Structure 1
Amino acid sequence: MSSPRDRDRDGFDDGAGGQWQEPAHLGGDTPSGGETGPAAPRPDDDRPAPTGDERTGSQAWQPPGWDLPAVEPERPATTRDEAAWQPPGADQWQSEAPPPAQTDRPRRGLGGLFGGGRSRSGDDAGAGYRDVQPDPAVAADPYGTQLWAQQFGWVLSDGTAPEDEPLTALVRSAPVRPGKEDQASRVLRGRGNGLDLVAFDIVSPVGRGFVSTHAITAAPVLGSVPAFRLSPARMWRHGTGGMLQIPSPDPEFDRRWVLLAAEDGPQVRRIAEDPVVRQSLLGTDDGDEVWSAAGFVAAIRPDANRPQLIEHHARLLAAVVGALAAAA
């Protein structure tokens, strides 16, 4: 029986070149000189032969996948004096200027029908009517309507002044069926679009206070004005017994708007035929009603008055009053 040493002597293992040794993982012999060399590859090992730096160190054969990765990744050594991580400089930007005071904040411009972007004080268009500060006045004037009116010289009233007495009859004639306790409040008087105007809220008692239900802008007119009502066709109408529907020459206008009058006549016909009146009403969202009563021509819409709504109603009233005056 031959031994591995006999095979070395007889030159049996040609691949080892006479220096055969057992694999290192089996604890075999080492070459002469006591130095450990690279382990011979196993016949069933399909891994490529080690090259370069892989030939150094221990090359004990292990099954594929036997070695596990290190628990912690290799990181450069740090010292105690190393500064803690800070975000990039752009993230640490801080303004050197102090925060602006509340009174320095820009405000929205007035502009519109009565202003053209500047207030009477000559301030820039940033002088707005809604204050950003918590102010008790904001609760009484949530939309800044009174502040807006004062800057254009309009006169304010609470609805109880002697000149406000005709407004009671106008409220009772409104096409929205106001309640018996509803009244005019937050009254503003001024001039716009060539008309003397009065704008106010219809308020209803709720609990211990009042709430605005509708906004009215009215223009007093001289002379006799026939009773009429201009209403969007989509709205339900009440109190129209005995009133006549006056057609217009525009089918689109008749499809969206209804003109009712107590009696037919040239003034009422002029309202339906006037192109400015039709264009003004067709350019809206069909949310207003216009009527005449108590010596006024008035426009009404749900909710409280606000500057933009007063300007919108002023344009409608200017068109209707102009048509009535042309037919007189």
Structure 2
Amino acid sequence: MSSPRDRDGSDRDGSDRDGFEQRPDEGSGWREPGHLGGGDRSGAEPAAPQPPAPQPPASEPPASQPPPAGPEQGGGSTAWQPPGWELPPAAPDRPAQQPPAGPRTAGPPAGGGLFGPRRPRTPGEVERLFAYQGDPVGAQAWAVQQGWDISDGTGPEDAALAELVRTAPVRATRDHRPAGVMRGRYGTLDLVAFDVLFASGRYAVPEYAVTAAPVLGALPPLRLSPARFWRHRTGGLVHVPSGDPAFDTRWVLLAAEDGPAARALVGSDAVRGLLLGTDDGDEFWTAPGPGGGGLAGGWIAAIRPDGHRPQLIEHHARLLTAVVGALAPAL
């Protein structure tokens, strides 16, 4: 029995085997894009070429250029095209802008290594923090206004200050040196004030402020310190009490012997009254002069863990005036 369909897939009545009629115009509207060299495949005459649109000047930005003519403007076939099928119009060639010649490119490069000039080293945060500023609080400016002399601590007249630093009641090392020296007169005393600078490598930090008064006569070793301070190098010194419980609770006097100088110092009402009115932040000691004491005299000095400032110089000057006045009868 024969099949109702022929081998060519069509029915006996000539219709398509899938039930669809032939569509001779199927795909007739498709064409290749213009940039691939294709045109209208229907055999019709191609549209007359349009003259190229005038190009805008190079200084005009691409956004302000007129859009290219589309199919609805008479620019070619009106057949349907997928979105984005045509390539965008090419932007005109623009000359590359050279960077302006700056200070580093205008002249020949400075001397340097294999990879060009070496930039100066920038100090780090720690170095900037601990850099010695010289006179940040105006102590030397105050001294100049008072008619005092200023030096950097390295002159011949500053050589005797090294003995003050060496005998100070603090842990001074060979890296500590005097700096920012100020000399002048305050009241009845000739004073020298300076910072004890810790200089090691790139760091220079003022750790202590010293104010000293030179005196004539022999001075026994004395050290007057707050009781709350840790005391260093006290070998050979004895404690000399004052007999005032309020004073002995806060202050300690150490001396080579319980002699007239020590008794005169702790027995002075002016000295005890001034010290009890402070914050217990200063220490006092005696040091021999350049000739080792005796007729060459010596120093009575005060020290505080801080940098010098005008208020501290005046504070030390008042205390040293009382201390020197108390020791004067024993000299």
Structure-1 residue corresponding to 2:306 = 303
Alignment pair present for 1:196 and 2:199: no
Shift of 1:139: 4.1
Question: Is the contact between residue 155 and residue 189 of structure 1 (CA under 8 Å) also seen in structure 2?
Answer: yes
Task: Report the more deviating stretch, 202-211 or 150-159.
Answer: 202-211
Shift of 1:266: 0.7
Supply the distance in 1 between the matched residues of 2:174 and 2:155 (Cα, whole angstroms).
20
Alignment pair present for 1:313 and 2:307: no
Structure-2 residue corresponding to 1:92 = none
Structure-2 residue corresponding to 1:217 = 211
Structure-2 residue corresponding to 1:112 = none
Question: Is the contact between residue 183 and residue 191 of structure 2 (CA under 8 Å) also seen in structure 1?
Answer: yes
Of the three residues 244, 248, 251, the one matched with 2:245 is 251
Structure-2 residue corresponding to 1:182 = 176
Supply the distance in 2 between the matched residues of 1:227 and 1:141 (Cα, whole angstroms).
32
Any idea what SS the aligned residue of 1:191 has?
strand
Any idea what SS the aligned residue of 2:323 has?
helix
Any idea what SS the aligned residue of 1:247 has?
coil
Any idea what SS the aligned residue of 1:255 has?
helix
Task: Report the more deviating stretch, 205-214 or 221-230.
Answer: 205-214
Of the three residues 128, 132, 147, the one matched with 1:153 is 147
Question: Is the contact between residue 227 and residue 291 of structure 1 (CA under 8 Å) also seen in structure 2?
Answer: yes
Shift of 1:206: 4.0
Q: Which runs of 5+ in 1 are unaligned?
A: 1-137
Structure-2 residue corresponding to 1:143 = 137
User: How many residue pairs were aligned?
Assistant: 191
Supply the distance in 2 between the matched residues of 1:139 and 1:210 (Cα, whole angstroms).
9
* Letter of the structure 1 residue corresponding to residue 186 of structure 2: G
Question: Is the contact between residue 193 and residue 315 of structure 1 (CA under 8 Å) also seen in structure 2?
Answer: no
Supply the distance in 1 between the matched residues of 2:256 and 2:329 (Cα, whole angstroms).
20
Deviations 1:249-274 (A, max 9, x none): 21100000000001121111100100
Shift of 1:308: 0.3
Supply the distance in 2 between the matched residues of 1:244 and 1:193 (Cα, whole angstroms).
33
TM-score (norm 1): 0.57
Question: Is the contact between residue 134 and residue 180 of structure 2 (CA under 8 Å) also seen in structure 1?
Answer: no
Question: Is the contact between residue 187 and residue 199 of structure 1 (CA under 8 Å) also seen in structure 2?
Answer: yes
Supply the distance in 2 between the matched residues of 1:226 and 1:246 (Cα, whole angstroms).
13
Structure having the higher Rg: 2
Shift of 1:209: 4.3
* Letter of the structure 1 residue corresponding to residue 243 of structure 2: P
Q: Which runs of 5+ in 2 are unaligned?
A: 1-131, 289-297
Shift of 1:326: 2.5
TM-score (norm 2): 0.56
Moved over 4 A (4+): none
Supply the distance in 1 between the matched residues of 2:133 and 2:242 (Cα, whole angstroms).
45
